[in-house]
């Protein structure tokens, strides 16, 4: 059973940029933003856990004012998050809007829970985390059709730690942009008004060139009648989560090298070509994909077997792959979508990791070569992915150095992505303690988590 804990709300408030510091702004959605309209009911929900050896009284008197002020200064430069998504009646085009007085809902709370338990790697029931996640509306209910883009909850565990919980709409920011926002907030929190941003965020949508006509294609997809138009994730959010647990697994650089050595040996033994791309990301994802396939086959009554197609979906950073320049400080989405496919019987075979590595690696290299090849099918391809029980999706990236986000309390002790509970996804971040390693966040029913853990550790142990 989940450990019981109490949560006490200390304050509900709203934070805006400093008065008259940001002019009213309207930002049209680019073709990079529009696909995320389908995910409005499943916002990203990261939790940052920090050690904080102070009582609640110190938190209220000292830390709360600093957090409020630093967030206001951050929103002056990252004002999109204080604004809203405006979805006008068809055929109007959705846009991000900010007007004077727009604000972010900020909640301060105190938890009676076990900080060290929640910030661990071991299996913990997912329901233990939801009281740390801020409430963010995911549907509009007024004539203006405005949807808030960010909410924050900061929870103190007296004399133990702090959890900064966020919920944000991906239509406003990709992982790179969100990371820049968090780093800016942390810097203002640490250094106060003396902190000076070296490179201001770029909001100029003209830097995104739509030479393939993707905006019109994606808007047409968005306007299609659907039984569940708000999200391509389907009804997963309605599933019972009472028996689900989340756990973190670490794939170290030594593990990756052993996986790579094994793949090369198997290819030579069978006289078959090597996968064309064996990066740390590909090696980790290939190993995880096979572990998840084996877990599903063991723990469900329905055995798929045969040549059923299995999908592995992930996000590919766009800035380094584009054939036109986009500033590193661009504030918005600039990512492509990758979907690898392999047959289930091949993934379940003795060389399943080789098959997975070839499928994922080939997809990565195709995106490297031409990120917009097949881009007109990004939305329809992902609808197929989410419509199949036989899929895995990756959330996050190990390239973002999220653990270096320091609010003045040191590096984060743990980072969790809560939205994977609804998305049948795995989260990837850089490892906090293992250099070159990758942390894998996973949420599964307890029986499946036990099975996955067995396949994961036995699989690593069996490597040369």
Catalytic option among 210, 243, 381, 406: 406
CB 26 within 8 A of CB 96: yes
Phi, psi of 461 (to 5 degrees): -65, -30
**CA-to-CA distance for 192 and 70, rounded, in angstroms?**
7
Spatial contact of 189 and 407, defined as CB atoms under 8 Å apart: yes
3-state secondary structure of 295: helix
**Catalytic site residue 170?**
yes
Q: Are 176 and 315 in contact (CB under 8 A)?
A: no
- The H-or-E segment that residue 163 falls in is strand 161-168
Q: Which residues pair with 85 in a beta bridge?
A: 96, 147
Which distant-in-sequence residues (6+ apart) come within 8 Å of 191 by Cβ? Answer: none
Choose, from 77, 170, 277, 391, the residue flagged as catalytic.
170
Contacts 24+ apart (CB under 8 A), 194-198: 197/77
SS3 113: coil
Sign of the CA dihedral with 112 first, then 116, 118, and 123 last: negative
In 5-81, the DSSP E strands lie at: 7-15, 25-28, 46-51
Instruction: Reply yes or no on whether 204 is catalytic.
Output: no
**Axis crossing angle, helix 352-369 with helix 253-269, rounded to the nearest 10:** 100
State the Cα–Cα distance between residues 132 and 333, nearest whole angstrom: 26
Task: Give CA 448 to chain center in angstroms.
Answer: 22
Which residues participate in catalysis according to the annotation?
A: 170, 406
């Amino acid at each position: 059973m989940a450990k019981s804990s109490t949560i006490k709300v200390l304050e509900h408030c709203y934070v805006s940029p400093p008065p008259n510091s940001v002019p009213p702004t309207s930002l049209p959605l680019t073709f990079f933003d529009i696909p995320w309209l389908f995910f409005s009911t499943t916002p990203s929900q990261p939790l940052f856990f920090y050690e904080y050896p102070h009582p609640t009284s110190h938190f209220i008197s000292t830390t709360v004012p600093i957090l409020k002020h630093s967030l206001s200064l951050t929103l002056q430069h990252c004002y999109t998050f204080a604004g809203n998504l405006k979805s006008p009646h068809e055929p109007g085009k959705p846009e991000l809007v900010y007007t004077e007085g727009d604000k972010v809902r900020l909640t301060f709370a105190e938890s009676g829970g076990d900080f060290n338990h929640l910030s661990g790697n071991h299996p913990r029931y997912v329901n233990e985390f939801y009281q740390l996640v801020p409430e963010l509306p995911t549907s509009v209910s007024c004539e203006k059709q405005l949807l808030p883009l960010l909410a924050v909850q900061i929870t103190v565990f007296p004399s133990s730690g702090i959890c900064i919980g966020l919920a944000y709409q991906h239509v406003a920011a990709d992982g790179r942009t969100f990371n820049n926002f968090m780093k800016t907030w942390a810097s203002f929190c640490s250094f106060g008004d003396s902190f000076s941003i070296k490179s201001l965020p770029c909001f100029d949508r003209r830097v995104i060139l739509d030479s393939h006509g993707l905006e019109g294609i994606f808007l047409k997809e968005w306007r299609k009648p659907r039984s569940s138009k708000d999200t391509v994730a389907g009804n997963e959010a309605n599933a019972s989560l009472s028996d689900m647990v989340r756990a973190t697994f670490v794939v170290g650089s030594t593990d990756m090298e052993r996986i790579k050595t094994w793949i090369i040996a198997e290819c030579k033994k069978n006289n078959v070509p090597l996968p064309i791309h064996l990066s740390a990301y590909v090696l980790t994802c290939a190993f995880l994909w096979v572990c998840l396939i084996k877990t599903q086959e063991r723990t469900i009554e329905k055995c798929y077997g045969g040549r059923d197609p299995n999908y592995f979906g992930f996000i590919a950073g766009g800035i380094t792959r584009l054939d036109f320049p986009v500033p590193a400080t661009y504030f918005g989405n600039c990512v492509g979508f990758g979907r690898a496919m392999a047959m289930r019987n091949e993934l379940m075979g003795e060389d399943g990791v080789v098959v997975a590595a070839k499928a994922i690696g080939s997809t990565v290299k195709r995106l490297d070569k031409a990120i917009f090849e097949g881009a007109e099918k990004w939305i329809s391809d992902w609808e197929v992915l989410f419509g199949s029980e036989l899929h895995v999706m990756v959330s996050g990236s190990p390239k973002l150095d999220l653990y270096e986000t320091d609010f003045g309390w040191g590096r984060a002790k743990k980072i969790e992505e809560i939205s994977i509970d609804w998305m049948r996804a795995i989260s990837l971040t850089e490892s906090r303690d293992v250099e070159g390693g990758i942390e894998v966040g996973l949420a599964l029913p307890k029986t499946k988590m036990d099975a996955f853990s067995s396949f994961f550790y036995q699989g690593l142990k069996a490597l040369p």
